[in-house]
Amino acid sequence: MPYLLNIVYLLLILAASPYLLYSRLRHGKYRDGWRQKFWGDVPRRRNRKVPCLWLHAVSVGEVNLLQPLIARWEQAHPDWEIVISTTTQTGFALAQKRYAPRTVFYAPLDFTWSTATAMTIIKPTLLVMAELELWPNWIAAAHQNGAQVAVINGRLSSKSFQGYSRIARWIRSTLESLDLVLVQNPEYAQRFIALGANEKRVHVTGSIKFDGAQTDRNNGTTKRLATLAGIEKSDVVLLVGSTQAPEEQLAIETFQQLSPHHPNLRLLITPRHPERFDEVAKLLDRSGLPWERRSRLETANHNPAARVLLIDVVGELGAWWGTSTIAYVGGSLSRRGGQNMIEPAAYGSAVCFGPNTWNFKDVVQLLLHSNAAHVVKNGAELQAFVERCLSEPQFAYDLGKRAQELVVAQQGAADRTMVFLQGLAASSLTRTIPTPAAVKQQRKQPRRQAG
């Protein structure tokens, strides 16, 4: 099975190579970290004599949610070393920026040789994967090197569950081998169990994303960015974040229609993917609106009179949400499935998003049930929502207040996650690590008894 997976992965990479090459040449993606990804040639730990917590986060969203967990772990276990791996280029850049001087590297692809090499170099005590990472060779390599494996903040959408159900016989043993599965809600728990996870190892802890949400608009980073952008207290900021086409165009049209009647309105746009910064810049050029790039705000030639700002810097959106009065969360009018709406809700912004939010189905249900967010189905409804927030400030304030109260009430998942991980860590440090020969013999034993 492990070697069969190697062949499958190689065939998939070969099939995807034209797209990978195009993305590399056109957008600068997939250029970095190939020695770490393909060969497992990851950085060596600073001190291999101390216990190690290896945290894996695929991209920006998962990297962000690690923050409250890292803070709690290092306070409780200052003798442990934490290393962080990511998959995407943007996730890697953010992790380096946010978690330095801790070791950050690209995760190995799920080949037998790359995962084995990375595990031998890192030698983790615990391997902790955020949300949903089911890589059979990687998990097997961790166990063979004496590490225990946990999934935290686990989520398994209906779409993902259907996909995994088609290959359930191939992934059941991987799920069965997980030492701990901590999920966001009971529905996800049942899906993990249905696919093969050990029921006794699956626990509902809530979403850590609520814990990492900042609620104080006066935090240092938000205040600095607001000052940098020249945002005044009298300004009403419409921030459209994590957007995809055509959401930026709809936001521009909304601003064009409303700003003549509401001169205190400002528009901030943050595209989801950095490779689209220039594409959105061209939209703004064609609009005729005075606008500026975030990357130019600290230069002498920026335009302080611009009422529209393109945020073309990765990793700042969380703080920019704190400047917003009205927030549109992108990827929800496209087929992306939505982006994280917890951050603007935590700041008390009047939050809206499109109808396609299956990636955050549980969060959306909570917000809508509490009348703490609004769904817009097209550009006309986006404009109507923004206009109502401008014309009825109390409506916008009440909507945001309910959203913030909801986020605060949901916090605590990081503490619950810590309890389970500390129990797993204690068992990891006291158990006897089996030799490869013993592992092989143990695998054979049930077959003998069955015969």
Q: What are the residue boundaries of the structural domains of the chain, listed by start?
A: 37-210+413-430, 220-410
Find the mean pLDDT for residues 61-73.
Answer: 92
Q: How far is CA 432 from the centre of its chain?
A: 35
Residue-wise DSSP of 54-108: EEEE-SHHHHHHHHHHHHHHHHH-TTSEEEEEESSHHHHHHHHHHHTTSEEEEPP
Q: Is the pLDDT of residue 179 over 60?
A: yes
Tokens of 110: 């799920």
Q: Is the pLDDT of residue 388 over 90?
A: yes
pLDDT number for residue 451 = 29
Contacts of 352 (CB under 8 A, 6+ apart): 326, 327, 328, 329, 373, 374, 375, 376, 382, 385
Render pLDDT for 243-253 as a digit per residue (tens, 0 to 9): 999 999 999 99
Render pLDDT for 392-419 as a digit per residue (tens, 0 to 9): 999 999 999 999 999 999 999 999 999 9
Helices (H) and strands (E) in the chain, counts: 20, 14
Render pLDDT for 336-387 as a digit per residue (tens, 0 to 9): 889 999 999 999 999 999 999 988 888 999 999 999 999 999 999 999 999 9
Find the mean pLDDT for residues 95-122.
Answer: 94
pLDDT, the chain, mean: 91
pLDDT number for residue 312 = 96
Q: Is the pLDDT of residue 20 over 80?
A: no
Q: Is the pLDDT of residue 443 over 50?
A: no
Q: Is the pLDDT of residue 128 over 80?
A: yes
- Give domain 220-410's CATH superfamily: Glycogen Phosphorylase B; (3.40.50.2000)
Contact 82, 53 (CB under 8 A): yes
pLDDT number for residue 300 = 77
Return d(Cα 140, Cα 386) in angstroms, integer.
51
- Count Cβ atoms below 10 Å from residue 96 Cβ, excluding itself: 18
Q: Is the pLDDT of residue 203 over 50?
A: yes
Query: What's this model's pTM, rounded to 2 decimal places?
Result: 0.77
Q: Is the pLDDT of residue 439 over 90?
A: no
Q: Is the pLDDT of residue 170 over 70?
A: yes
Render pLDDT for 225-266 as a digit per residue (tens, 0 to 9): 999 999 999 999 999 999 999 999 999 999 999 999 999 999
Are 37-210+413-430 and 220-410 in the same CATH fold?
Answer: yes
Looking from the CA of 59 toward its CB, the CA atoms found within 13 Å total 10
Q: Which CATH class is domain 37-210+413-430?
A: alpha beta
Render pLDDT for 27-53 as a digit per residue (tens, 0 to 9): 666 677 889 999 999 999 988 889 999
Q: How confident is the model at residue 448 (pLDDT cuts 50, 70, 90)?
A: very low
Q: Based on C-alpha coordinates, what's the Rg of the chain?
A: 23
